[in-house]
Amino acid sequence: MGASSYNTFDNDDVADWVADLEDSTDMSVILEALKGVTDDAEDYIESPECLNAIIAAEVVAALNGSASDDLPESVRDWVAGRPKPDAKLKAKAHNALDVILADSELKELWEDNTEDYPKWVACLNDIKTRISNTG
């Protein structure tokens, strides 16, 4: 599955996406990841697109002032001094997580892990809450 834990930043694909974020000067990497499971999504949303969108949603939550304790330092540095996300970006991130939770390859993979599946769902719901906070 590419993940070693239900926590967002404990998966193997994070480093690649974070490197792309660090090289960017705008929100394009975040928007591209979110659109990969919403606007530009195929009929079946595969795991890599889901993972990128989840990480992007974590960055939106961090921009909103509600960063995960596990947020990598390089992402904290990227977020520092940037404006809070507008309502449209927050809605897109929230929607992306809803899509992943509703029907995706990543959801199917986590459902096979009956012990950790509820923890994974709780983790994504926590991100949604942090995106919506007015903090």
Is residue 100 pLDDT above 50, yes or no? yes
Is residue 133 pLDDT above 90, yes or no? no
Sign of dihedral through CA atoms 35, 29, 11, 79? negative
pLDDT score, position 43: 80
Split at pLDDT 50, 70, 90, the class of 130 is very high
Q: pTM of this prediction?
A: 0.91
Which of these ranges, 8-17, 32-41, 90-99, 117-126, has the smallest mean pLDDT?
A: 8-17
pLDDT tens, position by position, 4-45: 566 676 666 778 888 899 999 999 999 999 999 998 777 889
pLDDT score, position 1: 42
Domain ranges of the chain: 14-132
Q: How many CB atoms within 10 Å of residue 120?
A: 22
pLDDT tens, position by position, 49-75: 999 999 999 999 999 999 999 899 999
Q: What percent of the chain has pLDDT over 90?
A: 76
Q: How many whole angstroms separate alpha carbon 49 and alpha carbon 37?
A: 6
Nearest residue to 6 via CA among 96, 89, 126: 126
